Structure 1
Amino acid sequence: MKLVTTTLAALLASAALAGSAAAECEVTLRSSDTHPDGYPTVEGVKAMATEAKEKSGGRICIEVFPSSQLGEEKDTIEQTQFGVIDMVRASFGSFNDIVPVTQTMSLPYLFKSEDHMHKVMDGSIGEEIAKGFEEKDLIALAYYDGGARSFYNSQKPIKSIEDLKGMKFRVMQNDVFVDMMTALGANATPMPYGEVYSSIQTGVIDGAENNFPSYDSSGHAEVAKYFTLDQHLMVPELVAMSKASWEKLTPEDQAILREAARNSATVQRKLWADQEKASEEKVVAAGSEVIKDIDKTAFVEAMAPVYEKYVTTPEAKDLVKRIQETE
C-alpha cells in the first residue's frame, strides 16, 4: 500500500505540473518509461500520443513520463495492474514473474532475425500472447524492438562455435544465460554491468554480450574490439495499458488507441534501427571489427539441452515450434 500511495503522490504532482494542456483533454492517460527522453521507446509512445490526439479530435491525451519518473519497470508494471498508472513500456523480461509465456521469449536463438521477431509478434502468436497479459489486468497494445544481444571480446574474432571454447564471458545473473554459455563451450561469469569494462581490461573476463548501442555507450568497444553479430537473444518490449483504464474507454476510443499503438511500433522500430546503425558505424570508425554472416547452425543446435531444460510443457513446446516455423 505504501508503494501505491507513493506512486499516486508522484502522479498527482506530475499532473499539477502538466497544467492547462491536460485540462483540454477529456481523457488523459499517463505512461511510464525507464529510458530517458529521446530514447526510441519513449519517442514511440510519443508518436502514439500524437496520433491518438489527432484522431480523437484532441479528446485523448497521453502524457509520457521518461527516466523512471514514476518508478522502475517492475514497480510501474504493478501500478499499471492496479490502475494507478494508465500505461507502461517495459521489457518482456520484467514480466517473467507475472505472465509465464514471456519466459519462453527469452530463449537463446529463438528468433532468426529482428525481422523474424517482428513477424511473430505482429501475427497470431502475438495476439495469443496478449491474452496472457489480459488475464493479469494488462492490455497489450504494441510490441516494440529491444534489439539483439551479440558477443564481443578482447581476444579474437569469433567466427564459429569452436572459437568460443574456454572463453570467459560476462552474463546477467540468469540461469538461462549461464546454461547457454555452457552449451556453447564457454565459461559464464555473472557480474554487475558496471564491472565489465575493468574486468575485460584486466583480463578477468574475455568479453561480454549486448546490443550495439550498449556496446558503444558503455565504452566496452574500447577494450573489446571484436563484435560477433550472432544475435543470440532478442527480447520484445511491450506497451501495456491498465485493464481498469482500458475499460473506462468507449469502443471507439479503444480502436483509436489500438491503431495508434500499432503504428507507433513502426516508428519505434525505425528509430531503434537507426540507433543501432549509428552505434555500429561509430565503433567501427573507432577500430572495432564486426564479424557478420556467420553460420549460426552449430550455435542453434548447441541449444538443445537448454531448450530441454526450460521448455517443459506441451504448450511451451508448441509455441517454440510455431515461432521457429514462422516465415
Structure 2
Amino acid sequence: MLTATDVHVSDYPTVEAVRWIGETLERETGGRLRLRLYHSGQLGREAEAIDMARFGAIDFARVYSGALNNAFPLTRALCLPYAFESVAHMRRAMDGEVGRAVLDGFGGRGLVGLAIYDSGARCFYNARRPIHVPADLAGMKIRVPVSDIFIRMLRLFGANATPLSLGEVYSGMETHMIDGAENNIRSFHSSRHFEAARYWSQSEHSYAPDVLLLSRRTWDALAPGDRELVRETARASVQVMRQAWDASEAAAREQVLAAGIDTNDVDMDAFRRAAAPLLAEYRRDPRIDALYARIRAAA
C-alpha cells in the first residue's frame, strides 16, 4: 500500500490528481499497487511531508514549491516575483526544459520529482483595506509560506511578513495575529479565508507551482516496470489536475464574488519595481539566472 499526503481539502485539484494516480495504478496492476491518500493536512504541514517522504515514512508528497526553496535551490527560480506572466506562460515553461531541470534537481536528496502542478496566481487578501500599491501594505502583518523569497519580497513591499503554515491562517486572522495573507483564489475559497478577509487585491506577484514528489526509497524498491508506470501516470495526471483547476478556479471566483468580497486591480509596475532588488540578487546565482532566462523566453 502506497501513501500520499496533501494539505488541501478532498476536492482540491491536486488532491483529485493524486487520487486519479492511485486509481490508475490500481487498475493497471490489478490491485498490486494501491494508494491511500491523506488530504486536508491529516499528516501535518508541508515541511513535515517533505521530510517524511525523504526518509520513507510516506511515499508521495504534493507540496508548494516555496516550501522547497531552502533544500532544493533550483525551485527558487519558480518563486521569483513576476517570473511568470500568466497560467499559460507557467504551463509552457513547466512542460519544457525548465520543468525537467527542476524535477531532475530532486534526485540527490532522497526524493524523485514526478510532476509539476498549478498553484494559480498568488494575490493579496486582508481584513483591513484594498491594496493598490506596495505602500498600502505598510504596517500589515501578512502570512507568507515558510520561504526566504516570500518573506523578503513582502518586506520589500512594506509588509510585516509572517511565515505560517496554511492551516494556521484562518485562526490567525480571526485572532488578529495577522491582517491577511497571499495565495490563489482557489485556496482563498476552499480554506474559507474569505470569511475573515473581505478585501482581495489582484497582484499576481507569483505563479509559483506545486510539485509532486516520491520518496527515493519507494522508487528504489519498485520493480523497473512499476517505476515507469508510476512516472508516466504522474505525468498524465498533470492534465487531470489542469482540467480540475480551471473549472474549480472559475467556480471559486464566482463564489467569493457572490459572498461580497471587495476586489480590485493593483499597480503591477509599482509592485515589479519594489521587487526588483530581490530579483536582481537571486539572479546572481548562475543556475537561477539560467532557469529564469528560460522561463522568460517561454513568455
Q: TM-score, normalised by structure 2?
A: 0.83
- Counterparts of 1:84 and 1:216, CA distance in 2: 31
Q: How far is 1:323 from its partner? A: 1.0
C-alpha spacing 1:302/1:240, structure 2 compared with 1 (3 Å)? same
- Counterparts of 1:252 and 1:132, CA distance in 2: 23
Partner residue in 2 for 1:3: none
- Counterparts of 2:126 and 2:40, CA distance in 1: 30
C-alpha spacing 1:196/1:267, structure 2 compared with 1 (3 Å)? same
1:98-177 alignment to 2 at 5 Å?
A: 98-153=71-126, 158=131, 161=133, 164=136, 166=138, 168=140, 170-172=142-144, 175-177=148-150
Partner residue in 2 for 1:13: none
Match of 1:188 among 160, 165, 189: 160
| Partner SS state of residue 302, structure 1 | helix
Question: Between the two proteins, what is the percent identity of the paired residues?
Answer: 34
Partner residue in 2 for 1:310: 282
Amino acid at match of 2:140: K
Q: How far is 1:166 from its partner? A: 4.6
Output one character per residue of 1:23-79: Cα deviation in whole Å (capped at 9) or x when no partner: xxxxx4222233343332222111011222333344332222334444443333223
| Partner SS state of residue 34, structure 1 | coil
Output one character per residue of 1:112-158: Cα deviation in whole Å (capped at 9) or x when no partner: 11222222122111111112101112111111222322123566655
The answer to whether the Cα contact below 8 Å between 2:143 and 2:182 also exists between their aligned partners in 1 is yes
- Counterparts of 2:261 and 2:41, CA distance in 1: 32
Match of 1:299 among 259, 268, 271: 271
Partner residue in 2 for 1:21: none
Match of 2:32 among 44, 47, 59: 59
Farther-moved stretch of structure 1 (233-242 vs 172-181): 172-181
- 5+ residue gaps, structure 2, are none
Amino acid at match of 2:263: V
- Counterparts of 1:33 and 1:127, CA distance in 2: 22
Output one character per residue of 1:180-237: Cα deviation in whole Å (capped at 9) or x when no partner: 34544x433537633324549xxx95x5432223433555545654422221122321
The answer to whether the Cα contact below 8 Å between 2:21 and 2:234 also exists between their aligned partners in 1 is yes
- Counterparts of 1:32 and 1:189, CA distance in 2: 27
Output one character per residue of 1:225-260: Cα deviation in whole Å (capped at 9) or x when no partner: 442222112232122112222233333322221221
- Counterparts of 2:246 and 2:186, CA distance in 1: 10
C-alpha spacing 1:113/1:197, structure 2 compared with 1 (3 Å)? farther
Q: 1 or 2 for the larger relative contact order (CA 8 Å, sep ≥6)?
A: 2
- After the TM superposition, list the runs of 4 or more consecutive aligned residues in structure 1 that deviate by more than 6 angstroms: none
- Counterparts of 2:110 and 2:124, CA distance in 1: 37
- 5+ residue gaps, structure 1, are 1-27
Farther-moved stretch of structure 1 (147-156 vs 231-240): 147-156
Farther-moved stretch of structure 1 (48-57 vs 147-156): 147-156
